Amino acid sequence: MKLCVALDLPSAKENLDLAKILKSEDIWLKIGLRSYIRDGKPLLEKLKAISPHFKLFLDLKIHDIPNTMADAAESMANLGVDMFNIHASSGKKAMSMVMDRLSGVQNPPLVLAVTALTSFDESSFAAIYGESIDNKVSQFSKDAYESGLNGVVCSVFESNLIKNSTTKNFLTLTPGIRPFGESAGDQKRVADLVTAKNEQSDFIVVGRPIYQSNDPLGVTQKILENI
Ligand code: C5P
| Residue 172 Cα to ligand 1 middle (Å) | 14
Q: Is the CB of 118 under 6 A from ligand 1?
A: yes
Of the candidates 52, 53, 70, the residue with the CA atom closest to the CA atom of residue 62: 70
Query: Residue 28, Cβ neighbours under 10 Å: how many?
Result: 20
pTM of structure: 0.96
Catalytic residue among 23, 46, 48, 61: 61
Pocket test for ligand 1, best of 8, 27, 83 (most atoms within 8 A of CB): 8
- pLDDT given for residue 26 in this prediction: 97
Is 92 a known active-site residue? no
Give the C-alpha distances (Å, rounded to integers) separating 197 from 96, 153, 202: 30, 16, 8
- Which portions of the chain are predicted below pLDDT 50? none
* Whether the Cβ atoms of residue 174 and residue 160 lie closer than 8 Å to each other: no
Query: Residue 144, Cβ neighbours under 10 Å: how many?
Result: 28
Measured between alpha carbons, how far is 161 from 159 in angstroms, rounded to an integer?
Answer: 5
* Whether the Cβ atoms of residue 82 and residue 56 lie closer than 8 Å to each other: yes
- pLDDT given for residue 118 in this prediction: 82
